Amino acid sequence: MAKDFVKRSENYSEWYNELVVRADLAENSSVRGCMVIKPYGYAIWEKMQSVLDNMFKETGHQNAYFPLFIPKSFFEKEAEHVEGFAKECAVVTHHRLTPKRDGTAGLEPDPDARLEEELIVRPTSETIIWDTYKRWIESYRDLPILCNQWANVVRWEMRTRMFLRTAEFLWQEGHTAHATKEEAEQEAQKMLKVYASFAEDYMAMPVLQGVKSPNERFAGAIDTYCIEAMMQDGKALQAGTSHFLGQNFAKAFDVKFLSRENKLEYVWATSWGVSTRLMGALIMSHSDDNGLVLPPKLAPLQVVIIPIFKTEEQLEQINREVEKIQKALQDKGISVKYDARKEYKPGWKFHEYEFKGVPVRITMGARDLQEGKCEIARRDTLEKELTDLNAVVPAVERLLVEIQANLFEKARRFRDENTRKADTWEEFTDILENKGGFISAHWDGTVETEERIKELTKATIRCIPFDSPLEEGRCVLTGKPSRQRVIFAKSY
RNA sequence: CGGGGUGUAGCGUAGUCCGGUUAUCGCGCCACAUUUGGGAUGUGGAGGCCGCAGGUUCGAAUCCUGCCACCCCGACCA
């Protein structure tokens, strides 16, 4: 390597950026704020997609696709929604280019091709979808509508960070329409549970589940539910959100249905989404100073086999053993790569696959083969052990399960160790300045206090956890009475 | 959008203050040989509109103006 990989403890941001680029996941493009996702990174996204997609289908949802462009006027229909997104929209004003009229080289938008109404590149699709749903819904028999869209969206962010905040990002957005408030609320909560189990069971990333404070609520929602994860630098990352939209969009787009009682009523709505930001979360949750660490359930490559040999005869002997093991592993549904390239030395390959986060490595050399053994190394702990050739398959199967569980446990322990209670303002600021992480504290429930705390400390309320017990207390800033602790943290 | 910084080969860089031979070095790349149990070694070689566009000058990576991009810190956000 040209330069030593920067250590996580030295400069977390730089570490993260380098990790993304050097593990071959993505790179900055020549387009402002946009990122190129490279094949290896995209393979991880595809894995995430397919797992999520199955979960959505199991909960009764269908995929659909809506336009990339949204007429400007659609945004004007929901007051809070437009306020939330107006500042970060890419706007299409022309439909044709023409050579520059002042005679200099280059092209310019043709003034004769100006659009009558500007089109907005979707920052989210509520408006275009509710404009469409209006035509789909007449009676309670048309409900519920449970659609999901896999798409790209554009938000013209001032400051970007690979995977965490890019001008264009890939995501999934579910949009549902219901006949009753209760059903819509349940849907929003149900989808949050889906996200939480994806995060914990597949990404091995523990998350807090809760509801957002009014300040952090989605523009246009009645309630925003969220999953919040803690990164290894102690900062919080909002990993997914599910919104109960009430009748806000139905009213804005005039979507009514005739109920069983023959009454005309507005439809109840939800929307929910997760994005390529999850890739950032995955990277920051588990990776170490040796590179990426991927949970086996999402690793595009679970096992790599590396031969060590001096002579052709030895290689052939290894090839024969590998063939058997590779086939047996593949039969168990495990993805395996045999890297017998002669152009790279074993040591180089070890580092390469470690950097890319491959969970299990099998090293097969002539020496061990004599004794009927090979070496199995695990990425999470970097431990190595010799295993009998005929025990390799069950050992790998067991190891993949173990690594998955260990990554989750390790992340959960880290989060719990870095979650602290604060009962006074001194404790609160001391934790933020010296320790970081989550702070469980009382809050008087007002927007003013939350904003004041943000001004003073940069910490925000990440969520009001569902499982937070009722408990009498006093607001950490104002001393006013509070009935429940909420989670504060600095966030991405 | 405010403050700070950077832009020289695929990557990382020296040189910029104080203009002057053929633009420095390392990694990587190519060829050959020897190597292969934790990033091999030697020899030879290829690769540069010095971010872009103007300007000053006999002469610009270096000075001036404008633009663009990226990074960091804020504000904003999935």
Q: Are A105 and A129 in contact (CB under 8 A)?
A: no
Written out in words, the top-level CATH class of the domain with range A12-286 is: alpha beta
Enter the pTM of the model: 0.95
List bases in chain B with any atom under 7 Å of a protein Cβ: 1-2, 10-12, 26-28, 35-40, 68-78
User: Cβ of residue A273 near strand B, that is under 7 Å?
Assistant: yes
Report residue A384: phi and psi, to 5°.
-125, 145
3.40.640.10, 3.60.70.12, 3.50.50.60, 3.40.50.800: CATH of A303-414:
3.40.50.800
Q: What is the ipTM of this complex?
A: 0.85
From the Cβ of A149, is strand B under 7 Å away? no
Instruction: Break chain A into its structural domains and give their ranges.
Output: 12-286, 303-414, 419-489
User: Torsion angle, CA of A321/A327/A330/A336, rounded to 10 degrees?
Assistant: 40
| Strand B closer than 7 A to residue A309 Cβ | yes
Chain A 341-370 contacts with nucleic strand B (CB below 7 A): 342, 345-348, 350-352, 354-355, 363, 365-369
Q: Is the CB of A264 under 7 A from strand B?
A: no
The whole-chain average pLDDT of chain A stands at 93
Q: Which CATH architecture has domain A419-489?
A: 2-Layer Sandwich (3.30)
Instruction: Judge if the beta carbon of A156 is closer than 7 A to nucleic acid strand B.
Output: no
Distance A291 CA to B54 C1' (A): 45
Looking at the C1' of nucleotide B75, which residue has the nearest alpha carbon?
Answer: A158
- The reported pLDDT for the residue numbered A2 is 34
Q: What is the mean pLDDT of residues A473-479?
A: 94
Nearest to A463 by CA among A448, A485, A447: A485
Identify the residue whose Cα has the smallest distance to the C1' of B28: A2
pLDDT digit string (tens) for A8-64?
887 788 888 888 988 989 888 777 788 889 899 999 999 999 999 999 999 999 999
Residue A218 CB lies within 7 Å of the nucleic strand B: yes
| Angle ∠(A239,A154,A39) on CA atoms, nearest 5 | 70
Q: Is the CB of A212 under 7 A from strand B?
A: no
Contacts of A262 (CB under 8 A, 6+ apart): none
- Checking if the pLDDT of A1 tops 50, the result is no
How confident is the model over A242-271, as pLDDT tens digits? Answer: 999 999 999 999 999 999 999 999 999 999
d(CA A37, C1' B35) / Å = 37
